[in-house]
Amino acid sequence: MDDKQVSPADLEKIRGVSSLLGVGEVECDKCGKIIKHLDRYCLNAHECPICEALLDNTADRGSHFGEHPSETPRGTRYCVDCSLKAGYLRMVRNKKTGVVFPSMFISRDEEAVA
């Protein structure tokens, strides 16, 4: 993929996905790894963490999570490794500093790390 362009298919893949920093310690819903305080992780608000159903909109989410009354309708959490596997994050290098980090998007001062 070109570093300066994001295809519509790539944008559709990350619809409903947010890149966040952990507060406290939470568990990755995919592999069970603990996401420590201030570690990067992704949250797919359109995926049920219990049955992995993909939901198209807010109305679907509200009715679907009613099927799992003990679970908060938060979506599925992905640690960095699982986020990379799912294609939500890529490893990026800052061209000036050389620092490598996970990111959803690449700015003009960065390049994708293969």
Which tens digits make up the pLDDT trace of 14-42? 667 888 999 999 999 999 999 999 999 99
Mean pLDDT, residues 51-77: 73
The pTM for the full model equals: 0.74
Runs of H (alpha helix) within 42-79: 58-65
Q: Give yes or no for a contact between 40 and 102, defined as CB atoms under 8 angstroms apart.
A: yes
Signed CA dihedral, 32, 37, 41, 44: sign only: positive
Asked if 76 and 47 count as a contact pair (C-beta separation under 8 A), the reply is: yes
Amino acid sitting at position 49? P
The two structure tokens encoding residue 74: 């938060």
Rounded to whole angstroms, the Cα distance separating 83 from 70 reads 25
